[in-house]
Structures are given as structure tokens and as C-alpha cells.
Amino acid sequence: MAVLDDLSTGRVENLPPQAAFYRLSVTADLDAVFATERPQAVAHQAAQVSVPRSLREPQGDLAVNAGGTLNLLEYARRHGVERFILASSAAVYGEPRYLPLDEEHPVAPLSPYALSKYTAERYCALYRDLHGLSVCILRYANVYGPRQTAHAEGGVVALFAEALARGEAPVIFGDGEQTRDFVHVADVAGANLAAVGAGEGVFNIGTGRATSVNQLWRHLGELAGVSRTPVHRPPRAGDIRDSVFNPERAREVLGWRPRYDLRSGLAAMLAAGQVVRDQDPPKRSIGPPS
């Protein structure tokens, strides 16, 4: 197994010791990496994931999310990779016309981030059609779990967990009744493993269960044994009110089912105690092997 990461958000100490590690961007010249490792499958998880940043820097967002994907696809083509898995996002759907969202729902990106992720999907489909590359696109719901970075543009679960750790009240934008589909990172990893050997096309990776932000905080407070009243702030412009997936296609084709319900997943995350603060520097770094 080999891992490619520029460590802009990743942390090398999270990698298994047996993994070959290359500290490189997905936009870099990767010919030597592919020639050395000769992968049969590529699981592409790297992305610029901040919607606010994509609004501020749309060209940089496009370069990483679409350009980086195209770069990987081209090296995969040149080096005979058999399978390409792309991590995509619920953001590509835009404002839901119906719920739960299935893979046939119209795509209507509302931000440069969402558009760049969908552009990456289309490049994958093009390389499938032009070059016969086997492609699997996984659209993630709201992923949470240990090692998630807690900062202003991170996941709400990590932000809430950090508020618990600091003894602070959480901040909720709007009335808190907006809903999301929260899926544990271990289940997302399981979906990627399932995708290595089965199925092509687009798959929603979520639980199929909608949870409000208020419910999420109540779950966390009960599990941690604390009771704090959230601080409500005005709704953020552009936030979607409700989103929940229909994951049946992933179950039928990939044979994948989430193992964690939200409460057990939150309990596991709190027990791990591994919420990462944005100001924590990596403990060490490592370059590509010579």
C-alpha cells in the first residue's frame, strides 16, 4: 500500500507503518510514484473541501479538485491502473428537490467547491468511456469520526466535540432544526474497500437517516454527561436546509451497509478522544522514499 498526501490537512502519524508514503500533491508530477508502486487501484480522497475557501479562491479550488483528479486519472491511464475510486460529495446535488436523495437526483452545484467535485466526476466518466478505466464514484454524506479536524470550516460533529472538550457552549447557525445524514468514517472506509472489487458508477454513501443539528448536540451532551445551552447565531447564507441519502444502490451493488448508527458512532469517537484542533502542528513529517 502507498499513500500520497501533501499534509496540508493530513497527519503522517495517522498512517499505518507499513505504508509507503510520498509527501506530494495530487497536482504534482507523479510518474515516478506510479512507476515505482504500480498500483492496481487508486482511491482518490484528496480535495480542497472548504466551501468558503472555494468562494474566495475558485481557481485554486478548481486546480486541486478537478485538476488534481485529472492528473491522477492520466497517470492511472499511462500506468495501467485497473480501478479508480473517487471521493465525491453530497454538495453536487445542490438544493434537494426531494428526499431522500438518490443517485438519479438532478445535479445542481451551488458553490465552486460543488462544481469542481462534479467536474472531477465527469472526468472520471470520460476516462471510463475513452480509455476503459473502471471507475467508482462515492458521494459522501456528512462524514464524522476520530481525527476529524475541528475548525471553522470543518464538520459540525468535530466542532461540537471540541466545544465539549473545552467546556464551552456549541454554536448553532439558525434554529438547529436543519437535518443531515451523518456517516462514520469507519463506514466510509468500508465503502472504499467494497468499491475496490465491486460495482461501477455513482453511489451514495450515507446512513439513510436524517438527524437535526439540535438532535446531534443532545446526543453528544447525553453521551458526555453534560448539559449546555447552545449559542444560536443567524443562518449562514447558502446552507442547505435538509439533506439525507438513499444508500440502497451501494447496498445492492457494493454489498455495503453502515455498521454505526449515529449514537454508537459518536460514543466511539468520544471514547477515542482524537478531535484534532486546527492549531495542532503535525508531530513529524516525512518525505517520499528514495
Residues facing residue 179 across a β-bridge? 212, 242
Residuewise pLDDT in 10s, the chain (290 residues) = 999 999 988 889 999 999 999 999 999 999 999 999 999 999 999 999 999 899 999 999 999 999 999 999 999 999 999 999 999 999 999 999 999 999 999 999 999 999 999 999 999 999 999 999 999 999 999 999 998 877 645 589 999 998 998 899 999 999 999 999 999 999 999 999 999 998 899 999 999 999 999 999 999 999 999 989 999 999 987 789 999 999 999 999 999 999 999 999 999 999 887 554 444 433 333 333 32
Residue keyed to cell 467535485? 117
pLDDT (tens digit per residue) in 32-47? 999 999 999 999 999 9
pLDDT at 32: 98
pLDDT of residue 84: 98
Q: What's the CA gap between 132 and 79, in Å, rounded?
A: 13
Query: What pLDDT does 274 receive?
Result: 54
What pLDDT score does 287 carry?
32
Alpha carbons 147 and 269: distance in angstroms, whole number: 9
| 213-224 helix and 156-166 helix, angle to the nearest 10 degrees | 40
pLDDT tens digits, one per residue of 232-282: 999 987 789 999 999 999 999 999 999 999 999 999 999 887 554 444 433
Residue 113 falls in the annotated catalytic set = yes
What superfamily would CATH give domain 2-277?
A: NAD(P)-binding Rossmann-like Domain (3.40.50.720)
pLDDT given at position 2? 97
Cα 53 from chain centroid?
Answer: 16
Task: Tell me which amino acid residue 34 is.
Answer: F
Spans of all domains in the chain: 2-277
Residues written for the chain: 290
Q: CA 207, CA 194: separation in Å to the nearest integer?
A: 16
Q: Which of 22, 75, 93, 113 is catalytic?
A: 113
The three-state DSSP-derived secondary structure of 128-163 is HHHHCCEEEEEEECEEECCCCEECCCCCHHHHHHHH
pLDDT for position 277: 46
Name residue 139's beta-bridge partners: 88, 204
Residue 3 DSSP SS3 = strand
Show the cell assigned to 225: 454527561
Strand 134-140 relative to strand 201-205: parallel, antiparallel, unpaired? parallel
pLDDT for position 288: 33
What's the chain's Rg over C-alpha atoms? 19
Give CA–CA dist 260/270, Å, rounded.
14
pTM of the model: 0.92
